[in-house]
């Protein structure tokens, strides 16, 4: 890109920045506010970030709630499959095994037995085994079985209706319609007649990660309970009033008290049992599989491969102890926080608060919002997800900060560098020097106030103060504020016409007094500055600054 193109680009940027007179912060805040409202109501673009935030916090909690010691997993793992293969063959095993297991388990009087195994089809080669399992299921009063909810698109093809299934509830205030329900029920009549059934479907989020558990599914006014919800209903546990809840994970894989199915089963069948005879007394026993070969695994925030039986155990544990995670999901709460943050930052930029102070306060607010989200999952059962306010505030602050930086850079380039290499002439320039009152003079506040007054009074002038003052002035005068007032009109010869300073200086004094609380010492000088001659421009600049400082101390000594 040629120098001419760069200079023209600087000219364009300069006019855009300074003719906006600070309104850019308002325009940007208004645009960001619209995007926040649209995202809260329609787009939901931050949803994926919210999921990621939940995963990070959940996986990195300071401490996890301890898994309930009364929730025990009887695990059909790879060791169990191998140990029982010689006598009972490959999976699936004859139902007689599970009937015997339940009979022996009932002797210890567990609080509940929950199967995470779907007995959907008959065993055509072992009818007697199925009959035995049905007889045991008919005698037990605390054993629960899963059913599988199919895609609702298949409901019209189903001959099964909710009214035909014992244990299906009704949603209060809604009329029930006995329409087809696509569901796979257990094969055994005694199990269906008991009504102790619930769905064990796991519904991942859009990214495939399991974060929540469906407490129930609605169906034309009917309440189709999940397996944990059905257990909670029968045992009198408190149930969530929401359809889905976030799972309060108990930690990494293996958090629950787990025993191997084959080991317990062999002990049940032995004449001299080695295991404690009250091992499962008063326990909630979940029978399921963690064997990878049975393909019952899901990705969760805690593990990439999480056994479905542990997901079920987590849901049961959450309902038993009433500590599932409740997400404050009202989008308007977060939209209000985001809008407040955006407009507070906009107000800070508009009022000319020191940039370093804005940076510090904004960074502190972002850290505070992150800390609040993190604390919510560590100290309570509520998830306060502030991803949306954090994102919105960061986007606004970043763009506003770039604009604020552009104000300084473009002004510096316009004052110090040649904008058009073939242009020659002179610009009338005014330099004003202010001395801080008790070191309290804020450059950014004074400049912001002066821009509003002077830019509104006359176009074509620039007002700027640079933090790094040229020629070492900043080091010599730490509380010195220099204001450059450069006429954009270029004349062929140095003009003898002076800039009218009376009203300008009065404005500078008024605004400085307002910001500082008192009238600061002031000195000024003016003259023609060459345009197109960088060396001559620097020389004139030094002369004007020297005269202005000289005038400052002459006035101060009077």
C-alpha distances in Å from residue 154, one per residue of 157, 159, 178, 181: 5, 11, 15, 8
Give the domain ranges of the chain: 3-59+328-407, 71-322, 425-557
Number of neighbours of residue 232 by Cβ within 10 angstroms:
23
pTM score, two decimals? 0.74
* pLDDT value of position 419: 46
C-alpha distances in Å from residue 173, one per residue of 170, 222, 230, 487, 523: 9, 11, 21, 75, 79
* pLDDT value of position 467: 46
Q: In whole angstroms, give the CA distance from residue 168 to residue 165.
A: 6
Q: Which of 220, 215, 147 is nearest to 179 (CA)?
A: 220
Q: Which of 296, 305, 212 is nearest to 254 (CA)?
A: 305
Please list, in sequence order, all residues whose beta carbon lies within 8 angstroms of the beta carbon of residue 306, skipping any fewer than 6 positions away: 210, 253, 297, 298, 299, 300
Please, are residues 192 and 147 in contact by the beta-carbon 8 Å criterion?
Answer: no
- What is the 8-class DSSP label of residue 421? T
Tokens of 91: 């999976």
Percent of the chain with pLDDT over 70: 81
Phi, psi of 212 (to 5 degrees): -130, 165
Please, are residues 320 and 71 in contact by the beta-carbon 8 Å criterion?
Answer: yes
Q: Could you report the average pLDDT of every consecutive run of 10 residues in the chain (558 residues)? A: 59 58 82 89 74 92 95 97 92 95 97 97 93 96 97 94 93 90 96 96 93 95 96 96 94 94 95 94 97 91 95 98 89 88 88 78 90 93 89 90 74 52 75 65 66 55 49 53 73 72 72 72 84 80 85 62
Q: Which of 217, 218, 216, 221 is nearest to 177 (CA)?
A: 221
Please list, in sequence order, all residues whose beta carbon lies within 8 angstroms of the beta carbon of residue 474, skipping any fewer than 6 positions away: 467, 468, 480
Instruction: Match 């049992």 to its residue by tokens.
Output: 273
CA dihedral 265, 270, 273, 275 (to 10 degrees): -20
Please list, in sequence order, all residues whose beta carbon lies within 8 angstroms of the beta carbon of residue 78, skipping any fewer than 6 positions away: 291, 292, 293
Q: In whole angstroms, give the CA distance from residue 55 to residue 43.
A: 22
- C-alpha 388: how far from chain center: 6
Question: What is the SS3 string spanning 340-364?
Answer: HHHHHHHHHHHCCCCHHHHHHHHHH
- C-alpha 306: how far from chain center: 24
C-alpha distances in Å from residue 6, one per residue of 418, 420, 421, 538: 11, 9, 11, 21
The rounded radius of gyration (Å) of the Cα atoms in the chain is 38
Q: In whole angstroms, give the CA distance from residue 516 to residue 439.
A: 10
Domain spanning 425-557: CATH 2.60.40: no
Tokens of 69: 């010691």
Q: In whole angstroms, give the CA distance from residue 395 to residue 346.
A: 12
The sign of the dihedral angle between the CA atoms of 164, 168, 171, 173 is positive
* pLDDT value of position 482: 73
* pLDDT value of position 225: 96
Please list, in sequence order, all residues whose beta carbon lies within 8 angstroms of the beta carbon of residue 6, skipping any fewer than 6 positions away: none
C-alpha distances in Å from residue 105, one per residue of 49, 112, 114, 190: 46, 10, 12, 19
Please list, in sequence order, all residues whose beta carbon lies within 8 angstroms of the beta carbon of residue 514, skipping any fewer than 6 positions away: 449
């Amino acid at each position: 890109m040629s120098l001419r193109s760069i200079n023209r680009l600087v000219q364009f940027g300069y006019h855009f920045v300074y003719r906006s007179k600070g309104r850019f912060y308002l325009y940007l805040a208004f645009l960001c506010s619209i995007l926040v409202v649209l995202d809260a109501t329609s787009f939901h673009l931050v949803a994926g970030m919210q999921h990621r935030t939940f995963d990070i916090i959940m996986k990195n909690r300071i401490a996890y709630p301890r898994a309930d010691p009364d929730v025990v997993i009887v695990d059909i793992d790879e060791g169990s499959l191998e140990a029982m293969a010689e006598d009972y063959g490959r999976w699936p095993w004859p139902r007689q095994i599970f009937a015997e297991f339940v009979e022996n388990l009932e002797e210890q009087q567990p609080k509940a037995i929950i199967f995470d195994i779907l007995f959907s089809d008959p065993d055509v080669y072992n009818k007697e085994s199925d009959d035995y399992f049905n007889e045991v299921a008919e005698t037990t009063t605390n054993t629960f079985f899963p059913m599988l909810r199919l895609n609702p698109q298949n409901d019209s093809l189903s001959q099964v209706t909710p009214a035909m299934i014992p244990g299906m509830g009704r949603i209060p205030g809604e009329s029930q319609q006995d329409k087809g329900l696509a569901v796979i029920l257990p094969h055994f009549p005694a199990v269906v007649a008991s009504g102790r059934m619930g769905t064990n479907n796991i519904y991942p989020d859009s990214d495939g990660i399991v974060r929540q558990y469906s407490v129930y599914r609605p169906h034309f006014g009917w309440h189709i309970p999940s397996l944990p919800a059905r257990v909670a209903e029968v045992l009198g546990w408190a149930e969530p009033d929401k359809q889905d809840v976030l799972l309060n994970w108990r930690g990494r894989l293996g958090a629950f008290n787990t025993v191997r199915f084959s080991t317990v089963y062999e002990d049940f069948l032995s004449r001299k049992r080695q295991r404690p005879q009250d091992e499962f007394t008063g326990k909630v026993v979940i029978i399921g599989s963690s064997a990878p070969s049975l393909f019952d695994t899901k990705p969760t925030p805690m593990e990439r491969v999480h056994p479905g039986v542990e997901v079920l155990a987590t849901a049961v544990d959450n309902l038993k102890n009433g500590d599932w995670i409740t997400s404050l999901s009202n989008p308007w709460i977060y939209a209000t926080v985001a809008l407040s943050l955006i407009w507070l930052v906009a107000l800070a930029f508009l009022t000319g608060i020191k940039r370093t102070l804005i940076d510090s306060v904004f960074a502190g607010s972002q850290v505070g919002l992150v800390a609040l989200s993190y604390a919510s999952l560590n100290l309570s059962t509520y998830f306060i997800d502030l991803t949306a306010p954090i994102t919105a505030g960061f986007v606004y602050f970043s763009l506003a900060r770039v604009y604020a930086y552009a104000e300084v850079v473009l002004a510096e380039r316009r004052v110090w560098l040649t904008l058009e290499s073939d242009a020659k002439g002179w610009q009338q320039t005014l330099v004003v020097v202010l001395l801080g009152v008790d070191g309290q003079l804020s450059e950014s506040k004074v400049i912001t106030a002066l821009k509003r007054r002077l830019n509104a009074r006359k176009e074509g002038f620039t007002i700027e103060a640079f933090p790094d003052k040229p020629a070492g002035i900043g080091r010599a005068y730490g509380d010195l504020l220099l204001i450059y007032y450069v006429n954009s009109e270029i004349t062929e010869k140095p003009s003898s016409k002076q800039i009218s300073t009376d009203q300008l200086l009065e404005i500078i004094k008024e605004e400085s007094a307002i910001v500082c609380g008192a009238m600061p010492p002031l000195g000024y000088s003016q003259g023609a500055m060459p345009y197109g001659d960088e060396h001559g421009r620097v020389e004139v600049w030094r002369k004007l600054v020297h005269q202005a400082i000289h005038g400052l101390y002459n006035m101060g000594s009077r």
